[in-house]
């Protein structure tokens, strides 16, 4: 099974359809009038479809078991076609398109089984996904080549060339995936004035996205939040709440990070942990959806 542990929960919706085609109007009339010998086709097929949605991971090997939080199965009749629509919702790390299609398939098979004694020309046609939403796939086509980014590493040891930077380079590599170029890269010591002066200089130079890595913990030299906080014009608490929650589900010390986020003028400033794993988790938790802030900051609607 595909590893989905890096994904975040979000509302996932999928709608799938299947078409059952009969060969004569008498069959449609019998279905509508509930006169099929085996019983009410609509209700039996609906019940079977619900089981199909719930049991998808039991019969499709690579499907993850997930909580089904809403399912709707409805019908439309167009001529000799009965169109089954299955809508499925969940709040989870992966989508429900296979669940919706499986539910539509099982509903259609149930109809076929119930109708074949009175109509030998019944066919199942066009099982397909109509719609899916939720997760990062909603943002996969968004690119942000117009954004200018800067990455600043806060570390006494890296500044003194006694250690190598991994977290800053990891941030730049991730930004490249969104076609965001890192125009400035700097290493500063864990000193309030050095960090603050660098933030002011970069925010005044036209940088849109400024990411600091390091200095957000609780050691005596971790002063990045103290340096950045007085400069923030509009703090956005939800950004770091989201990142810490994501991290806490994976590592028990994430709650100790003191990172902050907000705008200095038109520059979005993020303060990440100093470890490579930490920054990668923060980017997994926040990107690319956080980049929507640049549109909102220009006054565009959500």
Q: What integer pLDDT is reported at residue 178 of this predicted model?
A: 85
Is residue 301 scored above 60 in pLDDT? no
Mean pLDDT of 158-162: 96
Note the pLDDT of residue 300.
Answer: 46
pLDDT at 88: 98
- Of 18, 23, 24, the closest CA to residue 108 belongs to 18
CA torsion, points 262, 265, 266, 271, in degrees to nearest 10? -30
Classify residue 242 by its DSSP letter.
H
The pLDDT assigned to 280 comes to: 94
User: What residue has token string 């970069």?
Assistant: 202
CB 62 within 8 A of CB 2: yes
Name the token pair of 213: 């890595």
- Residue 268: alpha-carbon gap to chain centroid: 21
pLDDT on residue 274: 95
Residue 302 has pLDDT above 50, yes or no: no
- The sign one gets for the Cα dihedral 272, 275, 278, 279 is positive
pLDDT of residue 126: 92
Q: Taking the model in full, what pTM does it have?
A: 0.75
The set of catalytic residues is 113
Calpha distance 12→221 (Å, rounded) = 43
* Phi then psi dihedrals of residue 205, to 5 deg: -95, 5
pLDDT per residue over 34-80, tens digit each?
A: 999 999 999 999 999 999 999 999 999 999 999 999 999 999 999 99
In this model, does residue 207 exceed pLDDT 50? yes
- Per the model's pLDDT, the better-predicted residue between 28 and 136 turns out to be 28
Indicate whether 114 pLDDT > 50: yes
Higher confidence at residue 115 or residue 181?
A: 115
- Coil, strand, or helix at residue 270? strand
Q: What is the mean pLDDT of the chain?
A: 93
Question: Which of 28-42, 109-123, 125-139, 145-159 comes out lowest in average pLDDT?
Answer: 125-139
Query: Which range is least confidently modeled, 44-53, 114-123, 172-181?
Result: 172-181
Q: Please compute, for residue 185, the number of CA atoms within 13 A of its CA located in the half-sphere on the CB side.
A: 12
Give me the pLDDT at residue 166, please: 97
Least confident span in 57-66, 141-150, 257-266: 141-150
User: Per-residue pLDDT for 120 more than 60?
Assistant: yes
């Amino acid at each position: 099974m595909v590893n989905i542990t890096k994904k975040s929960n979000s509302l996932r919706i999928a709608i799938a359809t299947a078409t059952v085609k009969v060969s004569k109007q008498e069959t449609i009339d019998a279905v509508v009038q509930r006169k099929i010998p085996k019983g009410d086709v609509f209700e039996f097929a609906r019940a079977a479809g619900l089981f199909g949605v719930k049991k998808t991971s039991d019969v499709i090997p690579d499907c993850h078991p997930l909580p089904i939080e809403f399912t709707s199965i409805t019908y439309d009749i167009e001529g000799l076609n009965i169109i089954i629509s299955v809508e499925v919702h969940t709040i989870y790390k992966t989508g429900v398109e296979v669940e919706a299609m499986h539910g539509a398939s099982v509903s259609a098979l149930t109809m076929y089984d119930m109708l074949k004694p009175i109509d030998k020309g019944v066919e199942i046609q066009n099982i397909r996904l109509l719609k899916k939403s939720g997760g990062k796939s909603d943002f996969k086509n968004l690119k942000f080549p117009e954004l200018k980014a800067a990455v600043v590493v806060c570390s006494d040891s890296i500044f003194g060339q006694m250690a190598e930077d991994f977290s800053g380079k990891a941030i730049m590599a991730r930004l490249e995936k969104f076609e965001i170029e890192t125009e400035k890269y700097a290493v500063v010591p864990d000193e309030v004035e050095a960090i603050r002066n660098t933030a002011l200089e970069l925010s005044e130079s036209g940088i849109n996205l400024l990411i600091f890595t390091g200095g957000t913990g609780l050691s005596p030299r971790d002063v990045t939040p103290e340096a950045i906080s007085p400069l923030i014009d509009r703090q956005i608490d939800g950004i770091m709440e989201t990142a810490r929650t994501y991290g806490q589900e994976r590592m028990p010390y994430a709650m100790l990070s003191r990172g902050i986020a907000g705008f200095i003028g038109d520059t979005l400033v993020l303060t990440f942990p100093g470890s490579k794993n930490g920054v990668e988790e923060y980017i997994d938790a926040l990107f690319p959806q956080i980049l929507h802030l640049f549109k909102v900051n220009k006054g565009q609607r959500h």
